[in-house]
Every structure is written in C-alpha cells, then in structure tokens.
A and B are shown apart, each in its own frame.
Chain A
Amino acid sequence: MLRVDALSKTYATGDKALDSVSFTVEAGQVVGLIGPSGAGKSTLIRCVNRLVEPTSGSVHLNNQAITGLSRKQLGEMRRRIGMIFQEYALVERLTVMENVLSGRLGYVSFWRSFLRKFPAEDVQQAYALLDRVGLIQHANKRADALSGGQRQRVGIARALEQNPELLLVDEPTASLDPKTSRSIMRLIVGICQERNLPAIINIHDVVLARQFTQRLIGLQDGKVVFDGLPSELDDSVLTRIYGEEDWTAIEGDRAEDAESAEDESVA
C-alpha cells in the first residue's frame, strides 16, 4: 500500500509543481493519473521514489517512510519500486538481457554486475519475464534493434525483475500507436492483477486511462481536483481537470468503454 500525505514540490525556479497532494493506493489497485501538461503528473511520480526531491509532505510504502531516508537506504527502497518510462529509457547499446538484469542492480554487488555474473535465480527470472512479455527470442539483441512496442515490453520486464512492491508508470504509451498502446496497457494492468501490485500510471490519453484503470486521479496545477471511478469522469469533471473544451468525442466512448471493460474482465 502506498500512502502520499500533503506532498508538495516547489522547484528552485519558484514553480510550484505539487501543492499538498494526498492519496492512498491499495495493493492490486491500478490508478491512472491524468491532467494537462505541466500539471505535475511527472513530478508526482518521481517524488514517490525521490528521483525528484519533494519539498514537504511524506510518502509511505507498506508503512515505511520513503521521505527522510538516507542515500543508502534510498537505494534499498528504490529497488522495491519498479518504474516504467516514457520513451522506454532502455540503455540502447546494452542487450535486452542486460537491460532486464539491470533491474537487479540494487540487489547485487558492483563486481557481480560489472562482470555480468548475476545469481542463477535472477537470470532464470529474467528469462521467465522475457517469455511473459513475449521477447525471449530477442534476449541477446541490442535494445536499439527493437521496435517501440518491444522496447516498452523490455522496460516492463526490467521493472518486474526488481520484484517490486509498487509500480510507477510514466506515460507508457506516449510514442506508441493505438493498438500497441492498448496491448502495453493490457500487459501492465494484467501483471498488476497477477501480482497484486499497486500501480500509478501517468497517462494523458483519457480514453485509454478510462479503459484500463480502476481509479482515476485528476491533477490540475499541482492539486488533486478529481479522485474517483473512471465511470464518474464526465463532462464537468473533464472541464475541471483540463479546462473548457468540447468533450463529446470522449463522452461518446464512455458507453463503449463500459462494455469493453466487461469483456476485459470476462477474458
């Protein structure tokens, strides 16, 4: 379980990115974080594993405080939190296998990782995950030889190789086509259900967010302006989050989404 209390972040430039954000995420719950560009979605997700240092407030993972940890303790905490990135953030010149195994860096000594001599169970798990995301035959290819969708699958495998207790997902589909986007989202959500993992997914595609998440948090100018079920996301809520626009196209999808969501749960 993740608990975020009164989290605020003011950048050195004086920009207030987050303003007293509070929420909790239960195990197995997939939360979509939506909001306009610059609303603080990226900052919020990075404040959880302190890639960005929050100014005030606290973050707890399974009742252990993340804020206030020393450098060394922070490394031990970060290895428990898997992160999936926009544009994949794979190390392009390393092989797919090395990218997946890099998920174990927090657990092995420098020399082991330097010589690429990872423990047998780590290697075995890496193969199993590559098989799970459908890329086992690409293990020895360089990451930059893969397509966008395949790279994001490697990114997912790397995050899971950490055996995380929480997934942070930052715009996982930002540069993927609609079909690949959906299969990536389905994979992430499916894995969270299999492992009972809580996840925060930062996403700007509202239709996709509503189709795949169980709960949505709307962020506007660093503040939470909506926290509820995807089905509650109507015209007035969208306007509250993003501002005045014509939402009929998205509105029209709502009924279909509800149906396809049922199909998902059956399948």
Chain B
Amino acid sequence: MLSCLCTLTPLSVHAGEEQYIELSGELAEGRTIWIANCEGCHGYGIAGAPIPMRARDWAPRVDKPAEELYQHALQGFFGPDDTYMPARGGNDSLSDSDVIQAVNYMVALAKYYLEETENPK
C-alpha cells in the first residue's frame, strides 16, 4: 500500500501567498509584478535568491542604496558566490519602472519581516 507523507523543504519559510503582505499605492502594483516574475525564485531561495521573508537574507541588503538594487535587477548581477541574477529576472518584456516597482515591493516586504524578527509581537 502506498503511503504519502508530504513536508516542507527546509528552504521555504512560510506557505501560501498570504505571506506576501499586501501594501498600498505603487507597492500594491509592485506586489503583482513581483509575484508574477520574481516569486518563482525569491519565494523559495532558488539558485541562491535571497528570500525577503528570511531576515538573515535581507539584513545586509535593505540598507544598500536603492540605485544599486535597481541596477542589479535591471542589468543582471553575479553574486560573490557566482550566483546569478538575470537581467529583469529573465523577462525582457518588463519595463524599467516595472522592475523598480517590484524591487521596491521586495525591499518593503523584507523590511516588514526584519522588523517582525527584531520586534516579535
């Protein structure tokens, strides 16, 4: 008889889309773009992508100048361990402002979880 046991991989911190908190204004649009284009890797740590829900991934990143994060997302970036962030997340049809909005949302998301970790409710 077959028995099926399903567990979370060690990489995923939370389950479901509810972990991607909803924010207002431009960030709401950023969230939609982010889920459609970035979540596939950044939601799970695929290929070494930093997970915004994981404080230790983003603590060294949130204080970087926004311009640097935008450049990495727009032009692509090889990390210090030869991890590879493709330009525009591999989707050439995204405009510059799409990418920037997605980055803004991810930084906001990361800040939210950093705050939650530092000051647990």
Chain A partners chain B: no
Task: Name A's B-contacting residues (CB within 8 A).
Answer: none
Task: Name B's A-contacting residues (CB within 8 A).
Answer: none
